Structure 1
Amino acid sequence: MDSVASGSQSSFIFLSRNKLSEFLRSCTSRDITEKINFLVAKVENETNIEISEEIKKNLTNFAYEHRRRWLSASRNNNTFLKQNINWLQCEISFPCRAHGLVGRPQMDFSDLSERSKRRKTEDLRFNYSAEELSYAAQMQLRERGKLDSSNVMKNIIFSTPSRAEKYQKALKKMDQDQVYSIYSRRSTFNSC
């Protein structure tokens, strides 16, 4: 098989040695390491698989074997093809692990449950103090242009404890006022 194919039951992608040979011959560099890097990039683009160290090792071995056979054919394409026709027809298989398709999909932090949030932030909470984390959160808000939120956080965390109580009381009062205004709007709407 001269092109990329994937078996539905096997998790491998197959490339013929002839295709890999074409990739190597299309590289203009004479340096073997540059040819190997070119071959790795070409296989990665052609197959859309993640190139592991094992695959890179196999491609390196192929490149050196190809070079040996190319030199024994006196760098003549017709001689190379005649001498290596059986070798070139064989296929090499690569384990298929597509980029970013392995594992569970990532969720946004805001969509996680409380337990998952605790688990995800456990290392942060263990390695850094509350003051460091608060300051980092404040700076993150500031970088995103949320200056009011950043200032509120700064006032609550880095000033006197009574400041936090004042913010909490104001929030409760605001919540009650909002509930009352929503209730009064509904009653006005229902009476019409």
Structure 2
Amino acid sequence: MLSFNIYLYCGGNISMKMAFRPTDGWRWYFDREYDSLMLEVSSDMLFRSCYPSKMLIPDVFSEFSFSVSDAASYYQFHNCCHSLNLTESQKIQLSINGIVAANFLKPQMPKSWYFSQQSTEYTPKVADIVKVYMQEDGLEVCMMVVEVGEHASLCIIAQPTFFSMNKTFYFSEAIKVMNDRLALAQQFAQPDNSIVLDDEELELKAIS
């Protein structure tokens, strides 16, 4: 089961209104206790991605720097989050998980059976905010494209956790979807049957 993403920090209060910009001091490393890829932002702040080790490529099981390419992807993803009905903390989480999903996940098989085919043709681009419709109940779901393929694209769920088709779909969960299931979403409103996580669950948490 995928859990929602959390920020971890120790020592003092950190406001998400602070400037959150990549620097050459950021680094990735794998934490075996949490079974997660971590991003060290500073000595007081860590980010924990939501994907377990079984989903990750072997290259992540060591320490490595946050690259210029990672920084460019962060800005690209974050800039496309403005229309989403998410807190700033959630937008940062989504953006960083987008980097992890695009660069460090093992190849995924499409799971398009969850979603209905769209009536209009659409060619996705990286960082597009897209919508899909659940096959069973027609629920509209918001996703962000993180990797584009000729026939299917890797997306991450860009809304709070929800339940549909006897499955719980988690915030930032990665799903590969056939392109004919995707449609561009200019703006997205949170669906009524979302499982909205409490604010304290999505804010920074002490680890000291």
Give me the TM-score of the superposition, normalised by structure 2.
0.20
Q: Using CA pairs below 8 Å that are at least 6 residues apart, which structure has the higher relative contact order?
A: 2
Pair member with larger Rg: 1
More strand by share: 2
Give me the TM-score of the superposition, normalised by structure 1.
0.22
More helix by share: 1
